[in-house]
Amino acid sequence: MSQPRPRIGITRWEDVPAERFADYCDRVHEAGADPVELNHDGPAGGLDALVLTGGIDLAPERYGETPHPTVKRTDPARDAFETELLERALARDLPVLAICRGHQLLNVAVGGRLLQHIEDGGHRADYHAPAAPSRWHTVRLEPGSRIRDLHGADEIEVNSRHHQAVLPETLAPGLVATAFSPDGLIEAVESARHRWVLGVQWHPERLEAEHPGFAGRCRPLFEAFVAEARIVREPAR
């Protein structure tokens, strides 16, 4: 008899230009789990893992700073909602995959801060072009890290759609930096205090038609995440 598919909560709030919530759901479904949309109107119980998605900036007040002039739009209600979801997931030691804004929220929620604006525009999506294509750059993966083992490489090329970042000096206690961009931004983190908690600054859910190999390279990340959720889902033997 087949085992029940894990139920993975995926946070959804505002619609992000040129990004699709369905992409997160599709990648989770393809990896063998059932996606559950999480927002302020939906249930958040009975989940086996959590995905924190991309979106607008976190409110700098959450980490004790005055907003930079480039921080135009925030939503404290979303920040509070996702932080509560994350805290509940961490308390249960559920698998967590935090993507882009989610990567940043993970860092802030456990005691870190953010660089509020990257002066070089090379990390932001090109919103002046049709369909707002991603920027691209390499990241160096740290030896012995989970993300390095999943990719089987010391360096990979990733998409980039952000203007805020985690720096070595703003990294939260308990998180370990596991990937770096050429300009020194932390592009991936793992929790040293939990079974499987991983944040990536890039968008592994995007198909990126102009980079057809990207989706395939990201598939092991979702498969590993769902495999951890399946362990939670299966009854203790």
**91 assigned to some structural domain:** yes
pLDDT at 212 over 50: yes
The token duo for 218 is 């990201």
**42 assigned to some structural domain:** yes
The token duo for 103 is 């990567």
**68 assigned to some structural domain:** yes
- Model confidence at 1, in pLDDT bands (50, 70, 90)? low
- Model confidence at 28, in pLDDT bands (50, 70, 90)? very high
Annotated catalytic residue 82:
no
Instruction: Give the pLDDT confidence score for residue 17 in this predicted structure.
Output: 87
In the set 19, 82, 100, 123, the catalytic residue is 100
CA dist 103 to 32, 57, 59, Å? Answer: 23, 12, 14
Q: What is the pLDDT of residues 114-147, one digit of tens each?
A: 999 999 889 999 999 999 999 999 999 999 999 9
- Total domains in the chain come to 1
Q: What is the pLDDT of residues 172-194, one digit of tens each?
A: 999 999 999 999 999 999 999 99
pLDDT at 3 over 90: no
**97 assigned to some structural domain:** yes
Q: What is the pLDDT of residues 61-101, one digit of tens each?
A: 999 999 999 998 999 999 999 999 999 999 999 999 999 99
CATH at residue 75 = 3.40.50.880
Give me the count of residues in the chain.
Answer: 237
Annotated catalytic residue 218:
no
Q: What does pTM read for this prediction? A: 0.96
Instruction: Give the pLDDT confidence score for residue 68 in this predicted structure.
Output: 97
Kindly state the percentage of the chain with pLDDT values over 90: 89
- Please state, in angstroms and rounded to a whole number, the distance separating the CA atoms of residues 221 and 227: 10
Instruction: Give the pLDDT confidence score for residue 44 in this predicted structure.
Output: 64
Mean pLDDT over 6-10 rounds to 97
pLDDT at 41 over 90: no
Annotated catalytic residue 203:
yes
In the set 123, 162, 163, 203, the catalytic residue is 203
Instruction: Give the pLDDT confidence score for residue 43 in this predicted structure.
Output: 60
Q: How many CB atoms lie within 10 A of CB 9?
A: 25
In the set 82, 190, 205, 208, the catalytic residue is 205
**13 assigned to some structural domain:** yes
**27 assigned to some structural domain:** yes
- Please state, in angstroms and rounded to a whole number, the distance separating the CA atoms of residues 106 and 86: 8
pLDDT at 236 over 60: no
Instruction: Give the pLDDT confidence score for residue 181 in this predicted structure.
Output: 98
pLDDT at 216 over 90: yes
**1 assigned to some structural domain:** no
- Please state, in angstroms and rounded to a whole number, the distance separating the CA atoms of residues 191 and 156: 21
User: What range does the domain containing 12 cover?
Assistant: 7-233
Round the average pLDDT of the chain to a whole number and report it: 95
Kindly state the percentage of the chain with pLDDT values over 70: 97
